[in-house]
Structure 1
Amino acid sequence: MSRFSDLKNIGVRLHHGDVSFDFVGRKKIWYSISALILVLAVGGLLGRGLHEGIEFKGGSVYTIQDTSASQGDARKAVEPFTDGTEAIVQKVGGSGLRIQLAESDADKTKQISAAIAKDLKVAPDKVNTQVVGPSWGKEISKKALQGLVIFMILVVIYLTFAFEWRMAVAALVALIHDIVITIGVYALVGFEVTPGTVIGLLTILGYSLYDTVVVFDTVKENTKNITKQTKRTYSEAANAGLNQTLVRSINTTVVALLPVASLLFVGGGLLGAGMLKDIALSLFVGLAAGAFSSIFIATPILADLKERSPEMRLLAKKVAQRRASEAKAAKAAEAAGIPADQAEGHPDVDEETEADEDETVPAQGGAARAGAARGRSRTRPAGKRKR
């Protein structure tokens, strides 16, 4: 019961910092995983290539809604008209067939339709014929590419003004990451690329960006006036913001993936709805990739870019110096047998840490060392001066 309670309250614990996962500190691991996935995706894209649908390369499609014929029977029926190219035959619903050929000649489609009706023993009017020219697909591809470019330009402009240019760069890298993975998965599994695929691809861009912006907004709040303190670096503050939104990102992704999985496995797999399958696969892969990139890619890249700036490098040095000083104080307290919560301001601890600090003061003469000692004596709490 206590474990269930811990899981239930994990979001609250992450928000308050009681539990924290070092995503930014382990960025090399996430980069390596992402690189491996990208290599597989690009390899599939360059090796197998995309299986373009009829809408993009042109051809003819013959659909029979109700037939007892098998897919093998359909291939034999159209084999004389394929000219060496393999016909694509798919099940549609429970008893339907969809036959796709590269042939798009209007006169020849009538002969093919008649041959299908004869060999599969169905009425000629039961064979639905669709002919598409390749020019339509080229126009769709051109418009989709234009929309993608315009979308990314607007994203960079908005994030630059709303946040900063480093966040815009990190978000853009995450978007490209999601697009490449989604397209690569299509090449690897051999799914047909249709207008539904394009719709799904453009849809996931908005989702991926939305999730990344939510994380960046929390990071922005956590890093506001960060140079005025010396307790944590920018990367640590960014990682804290990422942890605060972690449960929300996971919940949003799971809730979004459930209906999409239903479309993919039920609508596309069991019911044979081709368009649903095309949209659902791009959405499913894109949503999963978007959740991964917003957590493991975008924020670590942002932290990398920020840590290169002079002010953040100086902050990192100050944080390291403060932690070194605190570690020395803790070590001195342990040696003196003083509890950690009483170490601050204790004369024995002060003497030990002051001695360590004196060793690090450059040799600038007795006056400089005496001035540093006087400054420390003025800051020692009243009533605890060394007698």
Structure 2
Amino acid sequence: MSKLGNLGARLHRGEVSYDFVGKRKIWYGISILITITAILGLTVRGLNMGIEFQGGAVFTTPSTSASVAQAETYAQDSSGHQAVVQKLGTGGLRIQIAGIETGKADQIRDALAKDLNVNAEKINADLVGPSWGEQIASKAWQGLAIFMVLVVIYLAIAFEWRMAVAALVALIHDITITTGIYALVGFEVTPGTVIGLLTILGYSLYDTVVVFDSLKEQTKDLTKQTRWTYSDVANMSINSTLVRSINTTVVALLPVAGLLFIGGGFLGAGTLNDISLSLFVGLAAGAYSSIFIATPLVADLKEREPQMRALRKRVLAKRAQASAEGELAAARAGVEPDEGEPEDSTPAVVGQRDQPASRTRGRGRPSGKR
């Protein structure tokens, strides 16, 4: 842990760094590949929408000896629709059937009671009409759209429109990956999933805004110097906040992982899967996009400005001049530019050296100069 703390301090001071912005084409390629996979999953498999979005019924039975597979068969035979069955901690079953008419609920409940050998009056039925499900889906999309618009407006005012565009691209990237994972895994999409999506978008924006704030502070009066380009400063901003972003992401992922893998996997709490999966995937994707997508994209957009292009030319010209002067000084010192120091010799001094004056040097000259 002490080594990690020392590394974080060195990253913050700029003593060590990793060229995230310089290798942005690699990160763009990885993101495009993952996004295409997610879109293919959405296109081929589609989302498993819960009854809250498409209507249906949820039947909760008392304790029964029937297995999940048997209950799925009974529910499909009695309703003619695909059923999702979960085992409850009380020994009962939660049978969810989407797309059925609410008028057939009593008929299906009687059939399930007979097949499961339980009392029909003890089976609880929660009904959701198709029109209400459509309203819920519409409200969810409206809420997501309003959230996106407010985010863009805030970032454009607090920072600039290029950062707002980059943050919006990162958010769309996170949503696409998360929904694609849902399609590939086949988890049910419920209102809890929407809540999870909005939550992870907040986490993603938090990491992004932290980097943007550092970038905004470090780029003040950037054009008045010739040492760093905008991409260089953007890379320093990522490195200075890297450990902080990793720490906050790991701390947030640990309880969510426990909720997903322990609660949903070992304990069989299937109702937790809808929100825990969106949180787990979204938090990881949000941390990735804030480092590898948002800030490099801002650097790409800023480098297109005439002022930043002129600054880049000046910086590169100064670096080329400094390199040439260094090579010339090394040549005068008798050292090749790419030659290492001999192990048994005195290190050569690069640049102009001050030679000790000789007592007899310059004697006899009219000017007396040495």
Q: 1:128 aligns with which of 124, 128, 145?
A: 124
> Who is 1:368 aligned against?
none
Assess if the C-alpha contact under 8 Å between 1:93 and 1:270 holds in 2. no
Aligned pair 1:307/2:315, yes or no? no
> Who is 1:62 aligned against?
59
Q: Write the letter of the residue equivalent to 1:291.
A: A
Q: Deviations over 1:114-170 (max 9, x none)?
A: 222222222333322111111122111211222222222221111112111111111
Q: 2:74 aligns with which of 68, 74, 77?
A: 77
Q: Kindly, what percent of the aligned residue pairs are identical?
A: 64
Task: Pick which of 97-106 and 67-76 moved more.
Answer: 97-106
Assess if the C-alpha contact under 8 Å between 1:82 and 1:103 holds in 2. no
Assess if the C-alpha contact under 8 Å between 1:13 and 1:19 holds in 2. yes
> Who is 2:343 aligned against?
none
Question: Are the structure 2 counterparts of residues 79 and 26 from structure 1 closer, same or farther at C-alpha, using a change threshold of 3 Å?
Answer: closer
1:62 partner SS:
strand
Aligned pair 1:252/2:260, yes or no? no
Task: Pick which of 60-69 and 28-37 moved more.
Answer: 60-69
Aligned pair 1:191/2:199, yes or no? no
Q: Write the letter of the residue equivalent to 1:142.
A: S
> Who is 1:369 aligned against?
none
1:245 partner SS:
helix
Assess if the C-alpha contact under 8 Å between 1:60 and 1:131 holds in 2. yes
Task: Pick which of 94-103 and 176-185 moved more.
Answer: 94-103
Aligned pair 1:285/2:293, yes or no? no
> Who is 1:343 aligned against?
351
Return the offset for 1:17: 1.3
Segments of structure 1 that go 5 or more residues without pairing to the other structure are 348-385
CA distance in 2, matches of 1:81, 1:304: 59
Segments of structure 2 that go 5 or more residues without pairing to the other structure are 335-346, 356-368
Question: Are the structure 2 counterparts of residues 325 and 64 from structure 1 closer, same or farther at C-alpha, using a change threshold of 3 Å?
Answer: same
Assess if the C-alpha contact under 8 Å between 2:333 and 2:351 holds in 1. no
Q: What TM-score do the two structures reach when normalised by structure 1?
A: 0.84
Assess if the C-alpha contact under 8 Å between 1:330 and 1:340 holds in 2. no
In the TM superposition, 1:263-278 aligns within 5 A as 263-278=259-274
Assess if the C-alpha contact under 8 Å between 1:82 and 1:102 holds in 2. no
Q: 1:23 aligns with which of 2, 20, 25?
A: 20
Aligned residues: 345
1:101 partner SS:
strand
Assess if the C-alpha contact under 8 Å between 2:246 and 2:287 holds in 1. yes
Q: Deviations over 1:34-62 (max 9, x none)?
A: 00100000000011111111111111111
Higher helix content, 1 or 2: 1
Assess if the C-alpha contact under 8 Å between 1:89 and 1:98 holds in 2. yes
2:96 partner SS:
strand
RMSD, matched Cα: 2.1
Q: What TM-score do the two structures reach when normalised by structure 2?
A: 0.88
Q: Write the letter of the residue equivalent to 1:194.
A: T
Q: 2:203 aligns with which of 200, 204, 207?
A: 207
In the TM superposition, 1:126-165 aligns within 5 A as 126-165=122-161
Return the offset for 1:324: 1.0
2:82 partner SS:
coil
CA distance in 2, matches of 1:203, 1:151: 11
